[in-house]
Amino acid sequence: MTWTPHQQPWDRTHAAHLFRRVAFGANATELERALADGPAKTIYRLLKPAADVAAFNREMDACETLSLPELRGWWLRRMMLTPHPLLEKMTLFWHGWFGVGHNRVNHAGFMRDHIRALRAHALGKLDALLGAIVHDPAVFLAAGGANNPKALPNEYFARQLLARYTVGTGQFSPRDVTDTARAFTGYHVRGGKWRDVPTDHDAGPKTIFGQTGTWTPADFARLAAKQPALARRVVRALYRQFISEEQEPSNDVIEPLARSFAADLDIGKLVATMLRSQIFFASPAQRVKSPVELAVGICRTLGVTVPTLPLGAELAELGQNLYQPPTLKGWPGGRAWINHATIVGRTKLATRLVGNKKFPADPASPEFQLA
């Protein structure tokens, strides 16, 4: 019932809600077109834009430098200009999920490549995403996995892989920890370089999630991707991302999506199901715009860009520093974005970005803080 596709009504309010949630807002042209096309076609286009997204992203990639403030600025600019805003939203979603921050990684190239890997798989297959993650030096550095010697398997890192990145706290056994750590032995990050040292890898049999084999990190990614516990966590996190940060959904709501997601691992399909649903359209103003969503949303609605180097710093002060989530747990989101200080900064930023321009909403209103 919950996930039944929404058909009617379809008006300006519904279309604006859809674009706010998944595309940082819509400009007047996009909104008119959405009204003419109806929900099914509009959602399809948000998921698979007709434009050459790959070419756009190649161009943006070429602009990126190895300075963190500049990387941050280029990403914001990419969000403002991209023909595929949902892809950037999902890249940001996974950035929060993995919580990889430059303060631990301390290597701009690794950070740049990490976000690019997230973008490459953000709406793709979960096993491919995890496959990239288990060979991503930024992840190793951020999650305390720089060293994985065979003589002393890194159980701290294994615990992060299990508790933070995959099945979640309470969903794994001590055996999963020891054997995941063993699966990662021989994979190190040393002196700013990725090292795969086969002689330091424990090639013996391991049992992870109840399955035994001579597992490697790639095998861990494959096995973890299929775990129902991970599917449930992802569905819950996406529910928070797209539907509501206020209501904790019941298992009955989560279970049907988690089951099909665990079977096909198709992130894009999962997101599509959520966006088409009745519950999606029945839950307006149930999320707080993140600082990035707030700023990029105004720019996309107006169809303008602003200097993103200072904007990146300003958003960091409002609690969302791109390339630097606070901890491995990512950004808590929801009400945590709004406190007695940030509401002042957010309101000032929004009114300043809108300026004297014609705008469909009052940027100083409390309603404007929500999506």
Partner 1 sequence: MNLTRRDFLRASAFAAFVPSVLCRAALAAGAGHNVLVVVQLSGGNDGLNCVVPYTDDEYAKHRNTLRLTAREVLKINDQLGFHPAMTEWKRLYDQGLASVVQGVGYPKSSRGHPEAARDWQTARPGDTNWPTGWVGQIADQLSARNSAAVPIALITPFTHPVALTAERAIIPSVHKIEDAVVPASAPRQASGNSLLDYVCATSVVASEHSRAIQAAASRAGKYPETPFARGLHIAANLIRADVGLRILYLELGGGDIGGFDNHAGQKDNHAALLRQFAGGVAAFMDDLRCDGLAEQVLLMTISEFGRTLAENGRRGTDHGAAAPVFMAGGRLKPGLIGAHPDLRSLDNGAPRHHTDFRQVYATVFERWLGLDSPAILGEKFETVDLFRS
- Write the DSSP symbol of residue 143: T
Residue 12 C-beta: closest distance to partner 1, Å: 20
State which of residues 12, 205, 344, 362 lies at the interface with partner 1 (CB under 8 A): 344
Q: Taking CB under 8 A as the rule, does residue 360 contact partner 1?
A: no
| Beta-carbon contacts of residue 341 (< 8 Å; ≥ 6 apart) | none
The answer to whether 180 touches 162, Cβ cutoff 8 Å, is: yes
Q: Taking CB under 8 A as the rule, does residue 67 contact partner 1?
A: no
State which of residues 203, 306, 343, 361 lies at the interface with partner 1 (CB under 8 A): 343
Q: Taking CB under 8 A as the rule, does residue 152 contact partner 1?
A: no
State which of residues 35, 128, 237, 285 lies at the interface with partner 1 (CB under 8 A): 285
State which of residues 48, 58, 190, 348 lies at the interface with partner 1 (CB under 8 A): 348
Query: Which of these segments, 19-27, 78-86, 90-98, 311-319, binds partner 1 (CB under 8 A)?
Result: 311-319
Q: Helix, strand or coil for residue 21?
A: helix
Q: Taking CB under 8 A as the rule, does residue 148 contact partner 1?
A: no
Q: Taking CB under 8 A as the rule, does residue 88 contact partner 1?
A: no
**Nearer of residues 340 and 358 to partner 1, judged by Cβ:** 340
Q: Taking CB under 8 A as the rule, does residue 357 contact partner 1?
A: no
Q: Give the H/E segment covering residue 61.
A: helix 53-63
Rg (CA), the chain: 21
Nearest to 154 by CA among 183, 131, 194: 183
Q: Taking CB under 8 A as the rule, does residue 156 contact partner 1?
A: yes
The answer to whether 108 touches 71, Cβ cutoff 8 Å, is: yes
**Nearer of residues 40 and 364 to partner 1, judged by Cβ:** 364
Q: Helix, strand or coil for residue 35?
A: helix
Q: At what angle do helices 85-98 and 39-47 cross, to 10 degrees?
A: 60
**Nearer of residues 193 and 340 to partner 1, judged by Cβ:** 340
CA distance 188 to 144: 11
**Nearer of residues 155 and 219 to partner 1, judged by Cβ:** 155
Residue 346 C-beta: closest distance to partner 1, Å: 10
Cα separations in angstroms, 75 against 7, 117, 183, 323: 34, 14, 34, 10
Q: Taking CB under 8 A as the rule, does residue 362 contact partner 1?
A: no
| Beta-carbon contacts of residue 352 (< 8 Å; ≥ 6 apart) | none
CA distance 22 to 12: 16
State which of residues 81, 237, 326, 359 lies at the interface with partner 1 (CB under 8 A): 326
Type of residue at 9: P
State which of residues 128, 163, 338, 361 lies at the interface with partner 1 (CB under 8 A): 338
Q: Taking CB under 8 A as the rule, does residue 132 contact partner 1?
A: no
Nearest to 254 by CA among 262, 281, 62: 262
Q: Taking CB under 8 A as the rule, does residue 193 contact partner 1?
A: no
Residues near partner 1 (CB under 8 A): 103, 144, 156, 245-246, 285-288, 317-319, 326-329, 332, 335-345, 347-348, 364, 366-367, 369-370
